[in-house]
Amino acid sequence: MNKPKVGFFDFACCEGCQLQVANMGESLLDLLGVVDLVEFREVMSEKWDGHYDIVFIEGSITDSHAEERVKKIRSRSKILVAYGSCAAIGGVNGMKNSFNLDEIRKYVYGRDYRFFPSSKTKAVHQVVKVDYKIYGCPVYTPEFIEVVKNILRGLPYDAPDKPVCSECKLNENECLYEKGLVCLGPWTRAGCNAWCVNNGNICYGCRGMLSNPALNAAKDIIAKYNLDASLMKNKFDMYNKCREKEDNGE
Ligand code: SF4
Ligand code: SF4
Ligand code: SF4
């Protein structure tokens, strides 16, 4: 039986999700046993000019060249996976959407900024059809493997639409609000097994907001712990600016 041809591609991102895949160790060897990896810039120099069965897209779409490129990749692929928060929700690159584009270009590129095109950040599904999304900054390896298994079996995958707190509680962590910290777990999509909190950190909301976040609970928490609501919003903006664009119907 022919193994599925698989390609990995990156757009605007830090490439941390590729590294996460490249560092999977034995699981990577298992994966390579069942797929034919034909393109993955970070780990091999070969290129593929045929059709792909599965492509993994990392990074968000931030200019017209990137839009054109991802559309071409889509047209050559049966299944497209947006992996990592940059690709799946726009992620940190979405912070650009809060500012005037020309001002940002001047700041980054200096006086020759007009030679460097830029547009509002988009998640991959805001440009092309996406068949699977894997959230996280970076992706959580056990979930990545689960999604790959589902793809290979022809099954769908939906990340849990419940808060990180649900996993955090099962891990018996002491809630960080009780320690005077601000954690975005109550409104952030689970699926990472509360990775950061297990390791003594807050949840930064990297997997994006739940489809139906408990806004009243947010108000209660802000009141109970005497928090600054604008600080909470800033924290959410780190990963969720592209969602705002969607919510506004843009
Ligand atoms: S999701 Fe995070 S780790 Fe992955 S490429 Fe984007 S910034 Fe890097
Ligand atoms: S530490 Fe964060 S994720 Fe855990 S229960 Fe508290 S708010 Fe939720
Ligand atoms: S705990 Fe929060 S910030 Fe950390 S990986 Fe999970 S969703 Fe992302």
> Per-residue confidence of the chain (250 residues) as pLDDT tens digits?
689 999 999 999 999 999 999 999 899 889 999 999 999 999 999 999 999 999 999 999 999 999 999 999 999 999 999 999 999 999 999 999 999 999 999 999 999 999 998 999 999 999 999 999 999 999 999 999 999 999 999 999 999 999 999 999 999 999 999 998 999 999 999 999 999 999 999 999 999 999 998 888 888 888 998 888 888 888 999 999 887 656 554 4
Output phi, psi for 21, to 5 deg: -70, -45
- The answer to whether 97 touches 245, Cβ cutoff 8 Å, is yes
- CB distance 245 to ligand 3 below 6 Å: no
Say how many Å lie between the CA of residue 19 and the centre of ligand 1: 10
Say how many Å lie between the CA of residue 161 and the centre of ligand 3: 14
Domain boundary among 153, 187, 210: 153
Task: Please state, in angstroms and as integers, the Cα–Cα distance from residue 38 to each residue in 4, 23, 196, following that order.
Answer: 10, 18, 33
Residue owning the nearest CA to atom 4 of ligand 3:
196
158 domain-assigned: no
Ligand 2 atom having least distance to the Cα of 194: 3
> Do both 177 and 127 map to the same domain?
no
Q: Which of 58, 122, 133, 189 to mutate to test the pocket of ligand 1 (most atoms within 8 A of CB)?
A: 58
Print the domain residue range for 178.
164-247
> Do both 10 and 131 map to the same domain?
yes
159 domain-assigned: no
Mention every residue, 6+ apart, whose C-beta is less than 8 A from residue 189.
Answer: 135, 159, 160, 161, 162, 163, 164, 207, 208, 209, 210
Domain boundary among 153, 186, 208: 153
Q: What is the pLDDT of residue 249?
A: 47
Closest listed ligand to the CA of 183: 2
- CB distance 242 to ligand 3 below 6 Å: no
> Do both 149 and 169 map to the same domain?
no
Say how many Å lie between the CA of residue 190 and the centre of ligand 2: 11
> Do both 127 and 61 map to the same domain?
yes
> Do both 84 and 185 map to the same domain?
no
Task: Work out the number of other CB atoms within 10 angstroms of the CB of residue 204.
Answer: 17
Q: Which of 8, 9, 13, 21 to mutate to test the pocket of ligand 1 (most atoms within 8 A of CB)?
A: 13
Q: What is the pLDDT of residue 247?
A: 58
> Do both 21 and 123 map to the same domain?
yes
Residue owning the nearest CA to atom 8 of ligand 2:
165
Q: What is the pLDDT of residue 82?
A: 98
Closest listed ligand to the CA of 166: 2
Say how many Å lie between the CA of residue 189 and the centre of ligand 2: 12
Residue owning the nearest CA to atom 1 of ligand 2:
175
234 domain-assigned: yes
Q: What is the pLDDT of residue 250?
A: 45
